[in-house]
Amino acid sequence: MSGGMAIPWFNVRKAAQIAAFFAREQGGEINVLKLTKLVYIADRLNMDRYDFPISGDNFVSMDHGPVNSITYSHINGMEGQCDQWSEFMTDRSGYRVGLVHNVSDDDLDELSQADLETLHEVWAHFGNMNQFQIRDWTHDNCPEWEDPDGSSYPIAFERVLGFLNKPNAREIADEIRSLRRVQEAFAAEVELCPEKALA
């Protein structure tokens, strides 16, 4: 997992809004395992359609299937208090997390229209499944997942894209990593000179 340190290229607020979308669709509160699977499936579908994940998170194989590593840490409270996360999502309670307040699509301002279309489609297909049915679906339909036998293995973007039959999987993966470097550089510049971010 990500170990509790801020990661400059990762948009925590966007990840929180993805989680909030699914919690809202579930009625305001959602099982942690179900949420974790839905977030991964949404990123995978977006990569199939547009070459890029919605969240930009790292992927790992865990016992219950593929997981978005940093988002998973936030869901489970492993990142400590984070205002960008807690603006939308409650702390984990048992096997569930929930919304801090009701949200509409318009409130999810980090998500593009294309992002929201992907999330709506994932919910339409998987929303009626329970967490174990979705887990089993990922085991059967996400061949990039490898059973880690109690551990966890990184899943490279190239591996996901390859199983999505992208002929230029390595080039797309390089573009994803390049975008991260741009985001990291921007975050560093804002930290050194915050007034530039307001210009």
Query: 88-146, pLDDT tens digit by residue?
Result: 999 999 999 999 999 999 999 999 999 999 999 999 999 999 999 999 999 999 999 99
The mean per-residue pLDDT over the stretch 34-53 comes to 97
Domain boundaries, the chain: 12-198
- Do the beta carbons of residue 74 and residue 85 sit within 8 Å? yes
Rounded CA separation 112/44 (Å): 16
DSSP β-ladder status, 59-62 and 65-68: antiparallel
pLDDT at 197: 46
Point out which residues pair with 30 in neighbouring strands. Answer: 97
The mean per-residue pLDDT over the stretch 20-29 comes to 98
Q: Give percent of the chain with pLDDT exceeding 70.
A: 89
The pTM of the full predicted model, rounded to 2 decimals, is 0.90
* Sign of the dihedral defined by the CA atoms of residues 146, 40, 89, 27, in that order: negative
192 pLDDT exceeds 70?
Answer: no
The mean per-residue pLDDT over the stretch 168-172 comes to 96
